Amino acid sequence: MLRPFRLHEPTTVEEATSLLADLGDAARPYAGGTELLLVMKAGVLAYDHLVNVKTVAGLAGIELDAGVLRIGAAVTHRELESSAVLRERFALLASVERRVANVRVRNVGTLGGNLCFAEPHSDPGTALLLYDASVEVAGPSGRRTIAVEALASGPYETALADDELLTRIDVPELPAGMAGAYLKFGYHQRPTLGVGVAVRLSGGARPAIEDVRVALGSVSPRPLRLRDVEDRLRGCSTADAVALASGDAGDLAAAASEAVDDLHGSAEYKRHVTKVYLGRALEQAIEAALAAGPERGA
């Protein structure tokens, strides 16, 4: 059962960050509570003060601004999965959001909370790497931008200071003609593995991988962009690329995976499924790019 705490409901970012600065270790931001309340119930963490980020103005809403999707930190997974602009222009992210957790957690849990908790088994934490997404963070001394790639520094650890609030997630559209797929795998509530691949194909009868982005998560302590794998695949014909994924590109991914032993399985097992799922995700990404057709080779 939860121990009593004091709830604060600031209405501005400045008020929230100065509360966090004043209360120090005794306080935590609170959004949907789907993670925070679990660790507090379990007695793993104890806070005398929670600061509700949902009452802070400016943290709600989804907006498309010159090709960049601006997602308020307090936007829930459900709002994302049912957003028309997401479905139309960020189909890959929409498909990831539809598969986060279960319907109840999606109704309450926020994207900001997911990223700030830095649970290693996060789907959006991995998928957002495909978009080169970044977050806006506000603290007592002002605002700064952090790439999602640099946000999680390890399990349950982020680049945020204790008195900083994540205010917004900025997701640029994929480059024209680029499309992708995100596959997750596992037998627990949270994924054992998540692999995302986005590709842009060159035109012609024998299309090649003109550009590619690969992201891997859940197997490792934090989500990773696999740039060596991208370099290996770039320029290859689609057929060669698929073959490479089950060959040395797959081995590269497994080696770079930083896989760890945990409840979901051994590191060795995770390196194996990494390779298998890289191939599958690549094939699906190629299919998606072919289907997205018209802009290809433009």
Partner 1 sequence: MAAEAQTQRMALSFNLNGKPTALEVEPHVDLLRLLRETLGLTGAKRSCDLQVCGACTVLVDGRPVSSCTLLAFEVRGRDVVTIEGLRGEGLSGEGAHPLMRSFIDHAGFQCGYCTPGMILAAASLLDEEPSPTEARVREYLDGNICRCTGYKKIVESVLGAAGGEG
Residue 180 or 191 with smaller CB distance to ligand FAD: 191
Long-range contacts formed by 61-68: CB under 8 A, 24+ apart: 62/86, 64/89, 67/172, 67/173, 68/170, 68/171, 68/172, 68/173
Find, among 186, 34, 226, the residue nearest to 117 by Cα: 34
Q: Binders of partner 1: how many residues, by CB under 8 A?
A: 28
Distance of alpha carbon 80 from alpha carbon 120, whole angstroms? 21
Instruction: Return the residue of 44, 102, 187, 205 that touches partner 1, per CB under 8 A.
Output: 102
**Half-sphere exposure in the Cβ direction for 262 (13 Å, CA):** 19
Residues in 86-125 at the binding interface with ligand FAD, rule: CB under 6 A: 100-101, 105, 109-110, 112-114, 116-117, 122-124
For residue 170, give the H/E element and its range: strand 165-172
Both structure tokens of 155: 């399990």
Find, among 101, 127, 76, 268, the residue nearest to 188 by Cα: 101
Residue 38 or 176 with smaller CB distance to ligand FAD: 38
Residue 63 or 268 with smaller CB distance to ligand FAD: 63
28 counts as binding ligand FAD under rule CB under 6 A: yes
Question: Which residues are within 8 A (CB) of 119 and not within 5 positions of it... i.e. 6 or more apart?
Answer: 35, 155, 156, 190
Residue 167 or 274 with smaller CB distance to ligand FAD: 167
Using alpha carbons, list the distances in angstroms from residue 42 to 1, 27, 36, 101, 188: 8, 17, 10, 20, 19
Task: Give the Cβ contact number of residue 240 at 10 Å.
Answer: 15
Residue 16 or 214 with smaller CB distance to partner 1: 16
3 counts as binding partner 1 under rule CB under 8 A: yes
- Pair type for strands 27-30 and 49-52: parallel
- Comparing every residue's Cβ against ligand FAD, the nearest one is 113
Instruction: Return the residue of 120, 139, 191, 207 that touches ligand FAD, per CB under 6 A.
Output: 191
Binding mask 168-207 for partner 1 (x = CB under 8 A): ---------------------x------------------
139 counts as binding ligand FAD under rule CB under 6 A: no
For residue 185, give the H/E element and its range: strand 179-185
Residues in 30-69 at the binding interface with ligand FAD, rule: CB under 6 A: 30-36, 53
Edge to edge, what strands does the sheet with 224-225 contain?
179-185, 193-201, 209-217, 224-225
Part of the chain binding ligand FAD (CB under 6 A), chosen from 140-148, 187-195, 250-258, 265-273: 187-195
Give min distance, CB of 54 to partner 1, in A.
9
- Residue 269: contacted member of ligand FAD, partner 1, none (CB under 5 to 8 Å, by partner type): none
- Pair type for strands 134-139 and 179-185: unpaired
* Contact set with ligand FAD (CB under 6 A): 28-36, 53, 73, 100-101, 105, 109-110, 112-114, 116-117, 122-124, 160, 165-166, 189-191
Binding site for partner 1 (CB under 8 A): 1-7, 23-26, 33-34, 37-38, 41, 48-50, 78, 101-105, 107-108, 189
